[in-house]
Each structure stands twice: as structure tokens, then as C-alpha cells.
Amino acid sequence: MIVNQIIGDSKNQIFANFGKRFFAWMMAPSTSKDDEIVSDRKRSLFANLQGEVLEIGLEIGANLPYYPKNIHWIGIEPNPHTHSSIQKQAEKLGLNIDLRIGNAEWLDAEDNSIDTVVSTLVLSSVPNIDYTLQAILRVLKPGGRFLFIEHVAAPPGSLLRQIQNIVSPISKVIGDGCHPNREIWIALGKAGFNSITYERFDAKLPIVSPDIIGVATK
């Protein structure tokens, strides 16, 4: 039994690995499509980045083309099956990246050390969004910014919200933990940021819409 846990062939581990592999395969085309839709918003949101930048949940590295080359970039990505795609993307762009395996609830960075944390389409998938937001606040410098683009729950009572509620248990398994019905804006408001500004938009992707884009400042 102990051997099974170590080599990762327990039933739970096999199922979890399948979910991660499936998600990595599934996200390649969908992430590319989503990036086309929000590219202008990303250029605006990521303008004037400098210093220490930490991105969580990289998927296949879709944000890398938007980063200036003079920043110190750290990436935290828990799914090892996406790392090769991220590295290849960085090499094509001529970026020197510091890519680490980790999770968003425990960030491998010192307290008050990061100028900007970036999250795009991540907060719906973390196991505990409250812990994640506290981890982000911990590593940000005073006055540091958290930049986010996230898909959120549809309005209560809407047909889309009903669909999100129905598919959420399935999505959590094959979508690497995705909760399409998560009310992310509420969690942000309770986290303890000094200020939060965001706007809603619709990327018009099935199930994982509407969306929010914004900045939270420590």
C-alpha cells in the first residue's frame, strides 16, 4: 500500500493524473481561442509590468508573449504535463523563465517580495480560493498589484448558472478542478485587499462565461 502511494499507482492518483493529462490536452485549443478573444485586454492589463512578477497557473504559457523581457518572471504551475509546452513557448520568445511546480495556496516566494502577481483563468480551479488569495497577499509587496482575468459564475437563476451548477462536479474531475459556478468577485472582496477595481465582460465561451478583468492592490 505504501509502495503504491510512492509510485503513484493508487486508484486516486491514477484518476488525478488522468484528469491532469486530459486537462493539458483539452486546454491547448481552448486557451488559444480564449487568448484571441482577450488579447487586447491582456495588453492593457499587463502594460508597464516591472520588477518581480509571479504568475500562478500557467496552463500552456499563453501570457508569455505579453511580458516585457526586463522583468524577473517566476511561474508556479502544479500540472507537470504542461511544463514542456511552457518551456517551448518561452524559448520561442527568447524569455528566461523561472518555472516551478507548486500550488497557488502555498507560493514559493518570500513575504512582501513580489511587485505583481498575475492570474488568468486560475481562481476557478484552485481547491480553496480564500487560501490562494491570502497567499497572494502574503507575497505581494505593500502597494503591489494582483492582476486577474477570470471566468465567473453566471447570474443566479439564469439558465447558464443552472448549467454551470449541473456540470461543476464533472468539470472538477476532467477539468483539473474547475468550478464554473464560482463567485470569484465575492472572494476577492473579502480577502483584505486595499482596493479592487474590475469590469465584467463576456468572452462568449460555452459554460465558462461571463468573465471579469481587474486589479487588486495590497
The pTM is what?
0.80
Stronger pLDDT, 27 or 5, i.e. the higher one: 27
Domains by residue range for the chain, with CATH: 2-217 (3.40.50.150)
Q: What tens digit of pLDDT does each residue of 61-87 get?
A: 889 999 998 899 999 988 777 788 888
Q: Are 123 and 132 in contact (CB under 8 A)?
A: yes
Stronger pLDDT, 28 or 67, i.e. the higher one: 67
56 CB burial (10 A radius; 0-12, 13-18, 19+): buried
Q: Is pLDDT above 50 for 94? A: yes
Three-state DSSP class for residue 67: coil
Stronger pLDDT, 205 or 96, i.e. the higher one: 96
Q: What is the pLDDT of residue 173?
A: 59
Q: What tens digit of pLDDT does each residue of 169-210 get?
A: 776 656 556 788 899 999 999 999 999 999 999 877 777 779
One-letter amino acid at 185 equals W
One-letter amino acid at 168 equals S
